[in-house]
Amino acid sequence: MGIRGIHDLKPATPPPPRLNRTWIRDALICAGLAALTTVVYAPVYSFDFVNYDDPIYVVENPTVNHGLSLRGLVWAFNGPHESNWHPLTWLSLMLDASLYGNWAGGFHLTNLALHVANVCLVFLFWRRVTREEGPSICVAALFAVHPQHVESVAWVTERKDVLSTLFGLLALIAYARYARTSRRRDYAMMVVSFVLSLMSKQMFITFPLLLLLLDGWPLGRFQASGWKRCSGEKIPLFILAAIFSGVALYAQSRQGALITLEQMSFPLRAANALVSCVAYLASTLWPMRLSFFYPRPVGALPWEQVLGAGMVLAGISCAVYWQRRRRPYLLFGWLWFLVALLPVIGLVQIASQARADRYMYVPHLGLFVLLVWGVRSCWPLERRWLALAATGWVVGLALICRQQVATWRDTHALAHHALALNPDNVMALITLGAATLKDSPQEALKYYQRAVLVAPGVEAAHTGLGRAYRQLGQTDQALQEFERALQANPNWVGALSGRGRIRVERGDIAQGIDDFLRALSFEPDAYTIRNNLALAYFQLGEYEQSAEQFRLALTIEPDSVPMHQNLGLVCMKLGRFEEAAHHFRQALDLGPPSPEILMDLSTAYGKLGRLPEAQEAYESAIKLEPKFRVPGT
């Protein structure tokens, strides 16, 4: 080849950029995990809300039902509400209300989407920190289909669980990047994600301790960076955890959800914590008799049961510690389980459950690592047989999970499933009572009577029984049940409200007002109680206080036709005819044409001297209801 041939050569063209094969593989794995999760949980799109916290979180919550708004944003942060401060959870429910209205299936699909995202993040996180694909897939698949996670996914109220875990997993992934790069922006992203998680639910309150566990295995940062540095960089996280712990305790105590030591002693709490830990382990391995509610023990637990539970936990702890050098993942997984479970183990007792399946959503991440890596290290056969066994394990859990999902389709399915496992499940009886109270108070009465019989002293059971008696017109018995509920818990809002209504009906208006005011001190957003308080003030002739309470109620439920009408009537009493006419018009705009409200509007216009408008409202009223015609007109 001559010089001419050399000049004819063209410069080499660089090959087109290719996507990183690892990312393509990860995307395909995530797609497979998402498909598995969706197939198992697909029925939730047709599920209804259940009468177990869903009413107060969504169905009967006017702020949520109005969708995203500036007022809703302020309300979400200006908590606590329903014994919790989790503004991001409220905002996500408001967004669903904006998108889906009152279609329960939409709320369920959002929960499912968040769970699918969490499953993918679990895989990506463990593959990133361990650099092992197969075990990470198995852990994510177990997380996707374990039946104990159904409560977190299929229950709309537990939006807080899947949402807080989403941000918690993002914080873990950001920390994994920070551990490799030491970049400040990765640390900042971790802190932001951690705060967002705590603003959804304070479940990841032990996050700094979980990071220290990761520093030991699999990141190995104690050897590389030293104990002091690893601990020191967690100090801001510990401060945030302490702040949000205080917020959670304040929110629970503010609205009377915390169980006092007089109601449940610390030795009983500790004993229940030991037994619950073992129950969680048993349900992880054999998730068959799962219920939406496990009643807490009333008296002392059998000493042999507590001793046995303690011995099991001590034995596992000794075994994993003994294997800490050869198999560090065993100690890591065990400690993750215990540390992640610590906020909800019951030493600080909330409500009346002994334990709850939803509490295992995060602790399972450690147990699954312990099981998957532990089984692999002890497996004597070829890896293909290990993969086959893991697949069978996941498929078996998926089938059980699908059955468990079906129990959440509606209130009756949920409660009857719980009663089939335990006929004395007090919360199942209370839930059925609440579900049937409106349409069949006599049937509700039977459920509540059974609940009081199997668990005397449970304030929710006595309150429900009081409501059933009141609806049946048996006010003496209703008052007795409200009193019994308040003996069990003097701050129980439902009993205070019920007793207040009966007192007002009997003419003890001042005492009824005291009950309403006390109830509102715990739940200031209870607009129905404010409405009842305003009516009580009206009966006393204290029209200014009545108007003030109606206005406060309307800030919570601005679309209430009766409250606009009532406030208009109060304004008429106060001589504020322009304001009265405004509220009558609002009531007419929000609801169907009402001859009563039109007559009130006609009267208000007449007082203002706006006679043509008064005549027009009057004629509209008598067209709808001729009996309102004034003789001679």
Give the other-Cβ count within 10 Å of 406's Cβ: 15
What dihedral do alpha carbons 528, 529, 531, 536 form, nearest 10°?
150
Q: What is the mean pLDDT of residues 375-380?
A: 84
Q: Check whether the bond before 80 is cis (ω within 30° of 0).
A: yes
Tokens matching residue 345: 């183990």
Whether 255 shows a pLDDT value over 90: the answer reads no
More confident position, 106 or 557: 106
The angle subtended at Cα 316 by Cα 313 and Cα 320, nearest 5°, is 140
Supply the pLDDT for residue 561.
94
Residue 291 has pLDDT above 60, yes or no: yes
Mean pLDDT score, 245-270:
80
Backbone angles phi, psi at 201, to 5 degrees: -175, 140
What residue ranges do the domains of the chain occupy? 21-411, 559-633
Is residue 195 within 8 A of residue 324, CB to CB? The reply is no
Q: pLDDT-based confidence at 1, cuts 50/70/90?
A: very low
| pLDDT for residue 385 | 85
Cα(43)–Cα(227) distance, integer angstroms: 48
pLDDT digits (tens, 9 = 90+) for 408-424: 999 999 999 999 999 99
Beta strands in 42-191 (DSSP E): none
Q: Identify residue 70 by its one-letter amino acid code.
A: L
Distances (CA, A) of 480 to 433, 442, 475, 514, 564: 18, 18, 9, 18, 34
- Find out whether 581 and 601 touch, Cβ atoms under 8 Å: yes
Average pLDDT over residues 92-113: 97
| pLDDT grade for 352, boundaries at 50, 70 and 90 | confident
pLDDT at residue 256, rounded to an integer: 64
Q: How far apart are CA 549 and CA 404, in angstroms?
A: 45
What span, in angstroms and rounded, lies between the C-alpha atoms of 370 and 331? 8
Question: What would the two tokens of residue 2 be?
Answer: 């001559």
Q: What is the average pLDDT value for the chain, to the nearest integer?
A: 92
pLDDT at 625: 84
pLDDT score of 404 = 98
pLDDT at 145: 98
The one-letter amino acid code at 83 reads S
| Best CA proximity match to 563, nearest among 530, 536, 594 | 530
pLDDT given at position 522? 87
Per-residue pLDDT averaged across 592-612, rounded? Answer: 93
Q: Can you state the angle between helices 104-130 and 159-181, rounded to 10 degrees?
A: 20
Residue 500 contacts by C-beta under 8 Å, 6 or more apart in sequence?
A: 511, 512, 513, 514, 515, 516, 519, 529, 532, 533, 536
State residue 12's pLDDT score: 46
Q: What is the pLDDT confidence band of residue 631, given thresholds at 50, 70 and 90?
A: low
State which amino acid sits at residue 158.
E
Q: Is 292 helix (H, G, I), strand (E, B) or coil?
A: coil
Neighbours of 233 (CB within 10 A): 19
Question: What is the rounded distance in angstroms from the CA atom of residue 276 to the CA atom of residue 419?
Answer: 20
Segment among 53-62, 296-305, 395-404 with least mean pLDDT: 296-305
pLDDT digits (tens, 9 = 90+) for 415-451: 999 999 999 999 999 999 999 999 999 999 999 999 9
Handedness of CA 571, 574, 579, 582 (dihedral sign): positive
Q: pLDDT at position 223, please?
A: 85
DSSP one-letter code for 9: P
Residue 300's pLDDT is what? 82
CB 269 within 8 A of CB 347: yes
Burial class of residue 613, CB neighbours in 10 A (0-12, 13-18, 19+): middle
Q: Is the pLDDT confidence value at 5 over 70?
A: no
Whose tokens are 């507590």? That residue is 306
Q: Average of pLDDT values for 384-392?
A: 89
* Biggest CA pair distance of the chain: 122
What would the two tokens of residue 268 be?
A: 């009983």
Determine the average pLDDT of the residues in 544-561: 93
Output the pLDDT for position 28. Answer: 96
DSSP label of 506: T
Q: Of the given ranges (265-274, 348-357, 551-560), which has the lowest mean pLDDT?
A: 348-357
On the question of pLDDT at 13 being above 60, the answer is no
Q: How far apart are CA 139 and CA 132, in angstroms?
A: 11
What is the pLDDT averaged over residues 338-355?
A: 86
The rounded distance, in Å, linking the Cα atoms of 136 and 29 is 10
pLDDT score of 287: 97
| Cβ burial, residue 560 (10 Å; 0-12/13-18/19+) | buried
Task: Give the per-residue pLDDT at 257.
Answer: 66
* The pLDDT of residue 626: 85
The residue type of 271 is: A
Dihedral-angle region of residue 213 (phi above 0 means left; psi in -120 to 50 means alpha; beta otherwise) = alpha
Closest among 584, 590, 589 to 602, alpha carbons compared: 584
Q: What is the mean pLDDT of residues 332-357?
A: 89
Residue 11 pLDDT: 42
Q: Which of 228, 253, 215 is nearest to 80 (CA)?
A: 253
Between 134-138, 382-386, 453-457, 527-531, the lowest mean confidence (pLDDT) is in: 382-386
Rounded to an integer, what distance in angstroms lies between the CA atom of residue 87 and that of residue 139?
31
pLDDT surpasses 90 at 630: no
> pLDDT tens digits for 491-525?
899 999 999 999 999 999 999 999 999 999 988 88
Q: For the chain, what is the radius of gyration of the CA atoms?
A: 30
pLDDT at 476 over 60: yes
In which band, very low, low, confident or very high, does the pLDDT at 346 lie, cut at 50, 70 and 90? confident
Cα torsion 355, 358, 359, 361: sign? positive
Assessment of whether the complete model's pTM goes beyond 0.85? yes
What average pLDDT score do residues 281-287 get? 97
Domain 559-633 has CATH 1.25.40.10: yes
> Tens digit of pLDDT for each residue in 152-188?
999 999 999 999 999 999 999 999 999 999 999 999 9
Which amino acid does the sequence have at 300? A
What single string gives the DSSP state of each residue in 312-333? HHHHHHHHHHHTTTT-HHHHHH
**pLDDT single digits (tens) 80-89:** 888 899 999 9
Residue 541, helix vs strand vs coil: coil
Q: Which residue has the tokens 């302490």?
A: 242
